[in-house]
Amino acid sequence: MDLQLGGLTALVTGGTRGIGRAVVETFAAEGANVAFCARDADGVKATEAALSGSDGRVVGTAMDMGNADDVAGWVRSTADDFGGIDIVVSNVSALAIPDTDENWEASLRVDLMGTVRLVKASLPYLERSEAASIIGISSVSGREVDFASGPYGTVKTAIIAYMAGLAFQLAEKGIRANTVSPGNTYHDGGVWQSIEQSNPEAFKEALDLNLTPRMGRPEEVAKTVVFLSSPLSSRTTGANFLVDGGLSRGIQV
């Protein structure tokens, strides 16, 4: 299936590991140009090198999404370099789960305000696009009360609400906004691998909650993100898509 992404430009935050890396790879495989960012310069270089043979351009930047000036500068320089911006995927997270003041501040600064600043800086360019789309990566923890309720879960809930508001506000401009909420997603270097190694009992309890007898893979989430971003999903806006293998049980109304 041709997702009609060839020649479009996507911005992806947190693009060197896990879901973000898989999103970058999937966009590139579909022929889109991709600008991604992450804090680790070595990881940025490695991701760029790995995807250098893609049909579209893939350019990485080492930066902190919690820094307002960095966000504005990155968006501006990307638009200048690529000739515009069509798709924005706000994926980066501080992954600040324990209920401490420091984690509340980090979650608000990186997860929420990083998303808000990214969107605001990108809007002038999205308004010129014929295929404008914004995706916020939330979590089932933003919809369900679970072990991550607190700074992480609360901010993930706020991202769902923010995307729904954007969908309402931007519809007449032809800009779509949606949320993707992954369930437990396992990858090398990820939070669940860390929990598996440090607290096997907690890991088993989380694994047992999955109706499917495994955790998800980043590429499974990425495929939903990229399809939802594409022109083929042109009628979809204001939605929160769960990619969780049936982990959450609530009925969305």
Active centre residues (catalytic) = 138-139, 152, 156
DSSP-derived 3-state class of residue 163: helix
**Tokens coding 233:** 């999903």
Which amino acid makes up residue 110?
A: V
- Classify 31 as helix, strand or coil: coil
Q: Give Cβ neighbours of residue 211 (< 8 Å, ≥ 6 apart).
A: 245, 246, 247
216 contacts 186 by C-beta, under 8 angstroms:
yes
Which amino acid, one-letter code, is at 38?
A: A
Q: Strand pairing of 9-13 and 58-62?
A: unpaired
How far apart, in whole angstroms, are the C-alpha atoms of residue 125 and residue 209? 42
Strands (E) in the chain, as ranges, are 9-13, 33-38, 58-62, 87-90, 133-137, 176-182, 240-243
